[in-house]
Amino acid sequence: MRRLLPALLVTVFLAAAGSADAAPRWLDAELPFGDAPALTGDASAAMAPDGTAVYARFAPDGALEVRERPPGGPVGPTISLQKVTVAPPPQSQLEVLTGADGSAALTFNVGGIRFASVRAAGGRWTDPSEAAPAGGQAALAPDGVLWIVARSPALDDTLSVYRFGPDGRTETTPLPATNARQLVGALTVPTAGEAHVAFLEQAAAPGEGDRCVLRSKVRAVDVFANGTTGIAHTLDQVDADGTGTAENCAADSGSGILGSLLLSTDAVGADTVVYTRLALEDFTVTPFARHRDPGGAWPAIIAPPELVSDADVLAETLIGGAGDPVVVVRQGAGKAIATRRADGTWTPVKPFGFEGATSLAAARTGAGTVAFAWVAGAVPQHVVGRVLEATGTLGAPTPLAPATAVRVALLTGIPMFLLSAVAGPLMLIVPVAGGFFAVYLYRQRTGQQMTVLAGARLGWISGIIVFTILTVLLTVVVLMLSQPDFLQSMRDQMAKMSSISQEELTKRIELLRTPSALAQGQGHQQPGCDRLRRVYARTGGHSLLQGRAHPRRPR
């Protein structure tokens, strides 16, 4: 559920911005499939430009379920698609995509094959069928056609673009090939019938002596629905020197390209590519960018690329759509963002403010704002949202949903406390049973094994909850006993129900009025306490818990 939760919360934010002029805001968090278990990669969510939210997940029995919510309306009924596997496929990487025309699609991996199901605007979901090799990146065109860039069917070191339509047929277009290996690709489909693709090429060549040269290129090409491609442009090129042959070159100096290529298209059709260079001498990383205006050409390779940041950060996510491109970078143990200005420079990175942020989800609204949601913290974890305004102002962090540990502690701590109060002789068994139930509930909701840290977190959160309940109850009792009328009524009722003397009755009521007397050993004492005191005296004042034997029994 970790991956689904931030994505759902982002769609909750976007739901308030059904039009470009609406002011987006956070609404209450929701779980469209109920509080059901879901593993990372087995659930996904997306929102269309008109505000329609689409949710998908693999149920524990392997069923692929989809639910949709129209703008401002309730979540619709569950749609079960045809099963591809009996159980949820491992590492399915389930992804939901939405189109500008109201269409939607979902993709997932089964072994080495990527399956897809599409829904035309106002239509029905198709049965999942093979669309491309596993992996790669997918995008949904404005006309509802699904485009995927992934490895070629016959050669693992080349890439192809796959077009998957509502009829279930796939058409393939190989990218322009050279003698280099094509490693990773990214694509956007801003208009029907045309995809913009960026990809990474790498080739090794002999150097001087026993040295070799490893050359990496960032390239871009346009792919058309008729199966043709435009001219491939080289956007950047870096070389790394190493030892070995051209077939087995171990680079140890120079630069390479690290991570994935990021590509986005804004609302007017301008493209931006972001990539990260790795300096092998000191292992520092620096993100760079290239930009193409609508209908224009990519800059020549001799022109210096745009420097995104020199703060040793790794680019991870690029957000296009309405407004300026925004890149999310990893900075140490946290996340930060930078925005491209109209003059080609980038703003200094702005940290999110939380270390260890994971499961980040981001989406652009029609108003140009960007909504972020992520899981933050370690003990306990919690979901946080933050909004980047169209003006570039980063709003304050907003708590969006309690952590799983808090929910489990609430659902187990309160009932166990109430059961303990009425369990009588079994009151010591109730907390133990509550602990087992908490572990079961935690595993059901997270799909993860209970760790020592998670168990400790559940324990101290439950302790705080029980302490809070006791504090509230004692406070209410003391306040009620401070009222003379209630005190006299209570005295009369206790006198009718018991044969104890007025003096003893007064002592008991006084003990309830001043709970501190109970902690100090004052007030009414049970006869059993007197017997324990006498036994303690006969042992010479030594506690049996200190490991000393009874004086009348030899060891």
Question: Could you report the per-residue pLDDT of 414-467, keeping only the tens digit for each?
Answer: 777 777 767 667 777 777 777 777 777 766 655 555 667 667 767 777 777 777
User: Residue 355: its pLDDT value, please?
Assistant: 61
Find the radius of gyration of the CA atoms of the chain: 32
Cβ atoms of 136 and 88 within 8 Å: the answer is no
Band of residue 23 on the pLDDT scale cut at 50, 70, 90 = low
Collapsed DSSP state (helix, strand, coil) of residue 337 = strand
**Taking 50 as the threshold, does the pLDDT of residue 550 lie above it?**
no
**Taking 90 as the threshold, does the pLDDT of residue 35 lie above it?**
no
Q: What is the mean pLDDT of residues 240-250?
A: 85
Least confident of 156-170, 188-202, 250-264, 507-521: 507-521
Alpha helices in 309-365, H assignment, sequence order: none
CA-based nearest residue to 2, from 458, 448, 453? 448
For residue 422, give Cα distances in angstroms to 182, 185, 418, 425, 446: 69, 63, 7, 9, 31
User: Residue 6: its pLDDT value, please?
Assistant: 45
For residue 46, give Cα distances in angstroms to 65, 99, 189, 486: 14, 10, 17, 58
**Taking 50 as the threshold, does the pLDDT of residue 9 lie above it?**
no
Band of residue 217 on the pLDDT scale cut at 50, 70, 90 = very high
User: Residue 497: its pLDDT value, please?
Assistant: 64
For residue 64, give Cα distances in angstroms to 30, 147, 478: 20, 21, 55
Query: Order of strands across the sheet with 79-81?
Result: 43-47, 53-58, 64-69, 79-81
Least confident of 22-26, 40-44, 269-273, 295-299: 22-26
408-415 long-range CB contacts below 8 Å, 24 or more apart? 408/438, 408/441, 408/442, 408/445, 408/458, 409/438, 409/458, 409/461, 409/462, 409/465, 410/465, 411/441, 412/437, 412/438, 412/441, 412/462, 413/461, 413/462, 413/465, 413/466, 414/465, 414/469
Top mean pLDDT of 226-235, 242-251, 463-472, 544-553 is at 226-235
pTM above 0.85, yes or no: no
DSSP 154: S
User: Residue 469: its pLDDT value, please?
Assistant: 79
Measured distance CA(213)–CA(180) in Å, rounded: 13
- 499 or 13: which leads in pLDDT: 499
**Taking 50 as the threshold, does the pLDDT of residue 542 lie above it?**
no
Band of residue 364 on the pLDDT scale cut at 50, 70, 90 = confident
The average confidence (pLDDT) of the chain is: 79
Q: What is the mean pLDDT of residues 461-477?
A: 79
